[in-house]
């Protein structure tokens, strides 16, 4: 079967892409989004970055961002039209040509002609029959060469899935709303019911009697635009889940591994305020009072009102937005919004990883400082123990020097000899190298401080305080 193609000049394709976006051109000519991007790259046709349309929507000057169309060998681009994929190949059976009736009146009148036309078309339809011939799916070069500038953080397979979904994305007509939207709508209705009950209570004041836990996602749009907003979000939510994401209860989305938050708001027009009856009455009362009371308080009446204009915008977490324009509505840019969701998710990933790395470095620094602190404390403790041990060793050496001096005496009595043996034991008890255990004093804890080893505090027990 011959594949249908369309041929456009490079200049025409370039102009339309920069005017309505790649997705808009794909929709206009019924082209495959990914294949169109590949063809643009092959033909050296530049296209706007993802942030170009956002900046343009914000009203920023983007005239200087348009890339120049470079020269190329071929000034025409042949594009393959998108086809509906069928499970079975259709085969056309050749028949003898059937003469199509003309639109002229027959002798029997117009009704007869109409019958012949209907019969002709019926025969034409019958020529197409089903045949069980499988059609192998081949990946073309165009499908493989997806531009690296589009969603560069995705691998080629996932990129093609996202681009294909974006190119086909549209409002789901006559479908049940997404589950989370139904739940949110129900919570809105329940809050409105409670708020109405509160307002009907005696002594109600708008400032002090507010109903808590108001679902605020749709506060920025009018009731007239809510259904449209629901349908836009419904299409986006279903696309995100189809691609493996998740929609949370607060209507945020998990795209890839990170959460993306959006808001939807409606534009407002500034119009001159028209006095209400109450305001007119207050002005009349004021004009009467000011004649005899110069301190009379003039009623505060605004000069302008802001009214919703039906123009919606999708707002991302950093304030960027995509909005209705004169040429395209949000419904026409759902594919662009989906791609922006993926870009915002990648930005969130980069931010998350940066914060995780920062937190990891902080934790590592805290761990290192704690380790240094503990090592310092250990060094102080060991040094004190060393000084305490050295002090005991010094005492042991002094005792032995004293014993040596006593031993040099000529006449050593048995009492003195007994004392010398006793003193040697005490020197060994003090010596941290020998660390002899005393019968009464026990084992000396050489590492402790002098105050902790005070003999007056040693071995307090049933025997009382033991001294010399």
1 falls in which pLDDT band (50, 70, 90)?
Answer: low
What's the pLDDT score for residue 361? 95
Q: What percentage of the chain reaches a pLDDT higher than 70? A: 78
209 falls in which pLDDT band (50, 70, 90)?
Answer: low
Name residues whose C-beta falls within 8 Å of residue 459's C-beta, 6 or more positions apart in sequence: 440, 441, 442, 465, 466
Determine which helix (DSSP H) or strand (DSSP E) holds 8, and give its type and residue range.
strand 5-9
Q: How far apart, in whole angstroms, are the C-alpha atoms of residue 243 and residue 238?
A: 9
What's the pLDDT score for residue 257? 92
pLDDT surpasses 60 at 395: yes
Tokens of 399: 């005792």
Contact predicate 220/168, CB 8 Å: no
Measured CA angle at 241 (ends 187, 155), to 5 deg: 145
pLDDT surpasses 60 at 460: no
Burial class (CB in 10 A: 0-12, 13-18, 19+), 452: exposed
Q: Which residue did the predictor score with more confidence, 116 or 128?
A: 116
What's the pLDDT score for residue 59? 63
pLDDT surpasses 60 at 337: yes
What's the pLDDT score for residue 301? 84
pLDDT surpasses 70 at 350: yes
What's the pLDDT score for residue 179? 93
pLDDT surpasses 80 at 89: no
What's the pLDDT score for residue 103? 39
In which residue are the tokens 């003039």 written? Answer: 298
Nearest to 266 by CA among 220, 215, 232: 220
Q: How far apart, in whole angstroms, are the C-alpha atoms of residue 25 and residue 372?
A: 64
Q: How far apart, in whole angstroms, are the C-alpha atoms of residue 125 and residue 393?
A: 115
Extended beta strands in 88-213, E state:
90-92, 128-130
373 falls in which pLDDT band (50, 70, 90)?
Answer: very high
Q: Which residue did the predictor score with more confidence, 273 or 233?
A: 233
Q: Mark 264-285 as b/e (b = at least 16 C-beta within 10 Å).
A: bbbbeeeeeeeeeeeeeebeee
Q: How far apart, in whole angstroms, are the C-alpha atoms of residue 91 and residue 415?
A: 132
- The per-residue pLDDT for range 143-173, each reduced to its tens digit, is 334 456 688 899 989 999 999 999 889 998 7
Mean pLDDT of the chain: 80
- Rounded average pLDDT over 246-273: 93
Tokens of 122: 């019926």
Q: How many angstroms separate the Cα of 422 from the Cα of each of 52, 227, 397, 417, 467? A: 98, 104, 15, 9, 14
Q: How far apart, in whole angstroms, are the C-alpha atoms of residue 442 and residue 349?
A: 66
Extended beta strands in 400-457, E state:
437-438, 442-443
Q: Which residue did the predictor score with more confidence, 460 or 234?
A: 234
What's the pLDDT score for residue 125? 35
- The per-residue pLDDT for range 36-73, each reduced to its tens digit, is 888 888 888 887 875 676 666 656 777 788 888 888 88
What's the pLDDT score for residue 384? 94
Nearest to 38 by CA among 192, 141, 178: 141
Q: How far apart, in whole angstroms, are the C-alpha atoms of residue 18 and residue 22?
A: 8
What's the pLDDT score for residue 203? 66
Q: How far apart, in whole angstroms, are the C-alpha atoms of residue 231 and residue 172?
A: 7
Q: 123-127, 171-175, 232-236, 431-435: lowest mean pLDDT where?
A: 123-127
- The per-residue pLDDT for range 184-196, each reduced to its tens digit, is 999 988 888 887 8
The total number of residues shown for the chain amounts to 468
Tokens of 20: 């309505």
């Amino acid at each position: 079967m011959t594949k249908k193609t369309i041929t456009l000049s490079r200049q025409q394709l370039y102009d339309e892409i920069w005017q309505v976006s790649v997705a808009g051109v794909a929709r206009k000519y019924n082209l495959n989004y990914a294949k169109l991007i590949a063809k643009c790259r092959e033909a050296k046709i530049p296209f706007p970055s993802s942030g170009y349309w956002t900046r343009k929507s914000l009203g920023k000057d983007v005239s200087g961002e348009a890339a120049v169309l470079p020269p190329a060998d071929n000034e025409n681009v042949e594009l393959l039209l998108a086809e509906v994929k069928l499970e079975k190949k259709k085969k056309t059976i050749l028949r003898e040509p059937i003469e199509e009736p003309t639109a002229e009146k027959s002798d029997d009148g117009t009704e007869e002609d109409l019958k012949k036309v209907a019969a002709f078309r019926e025969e034409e339809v019958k020529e197409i029959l089903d045949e069980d011939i499988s059609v192998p799916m081949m990946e073309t070069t165009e499908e493989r060469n997806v531009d690296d500038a589009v969603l560069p953080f995705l691998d080629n397979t996932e990129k093609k899935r996202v681009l294909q979904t974006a190119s086909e994305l549209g409002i789901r007509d006559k479908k049940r709303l997404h589950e989370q939207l139904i739940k949110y709508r129900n919570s809105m209705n329940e809050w409105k019911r409670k708020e109405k009950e509160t307002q009907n209570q005696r002594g109600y004041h708008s400032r002090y009697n507010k109903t808590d836990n108001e679902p605020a996602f749709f506060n920025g749009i009018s009731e007239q635009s809510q259904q449209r907003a629901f349908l836009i979000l419904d299409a986006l939510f279903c696309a995100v889940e189809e691609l493996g994401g998740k929609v949370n209860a607060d209507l945020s989305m998990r795209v890839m591994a990170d959460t993306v938050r959006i808001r939807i708001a409606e534009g407002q027009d500034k119009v001159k305020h028209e006095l209400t009856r109450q305001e007119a009455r207050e002005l009349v009362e004021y004009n009467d009072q000011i004649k005899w009371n110069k301190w009379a308080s003039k009623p505060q009446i605004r000069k302008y009102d802001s009214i919703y204009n039906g123009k919606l915008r999708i707002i991302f977490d950093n304030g960027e937005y995509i909005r209705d324009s004169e040429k395209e509505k949000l419904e026409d840019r759902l594919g662009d919004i989906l791609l922006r969701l993926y870009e915002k998710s990648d930005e969130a990933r980069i931010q998350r990883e940066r914060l995780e790395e920062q937190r990891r470095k902080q934790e590592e620094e805290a761990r290192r400082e704690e380790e240094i602190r503990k090592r310092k404390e250990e060094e102080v403790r060991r040094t004190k123990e060393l000084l305490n041990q050295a002090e005991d060793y010094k005492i042991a050496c002094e005792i032995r020097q004293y014993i040596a001096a006593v031993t040099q005496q000529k006449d050593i009595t048995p009492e003195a000899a007994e004392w010398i043996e006793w003193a040697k034991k005490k020197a060994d008890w003090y010596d941290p190298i020998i660390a002899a255990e005393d019968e009464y004093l026990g084992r000396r804890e050489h590492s402790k401080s002098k105050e902790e080893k005070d003999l007056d505090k040693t071995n307090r027990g049933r025997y009382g305080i033991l001294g010399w």
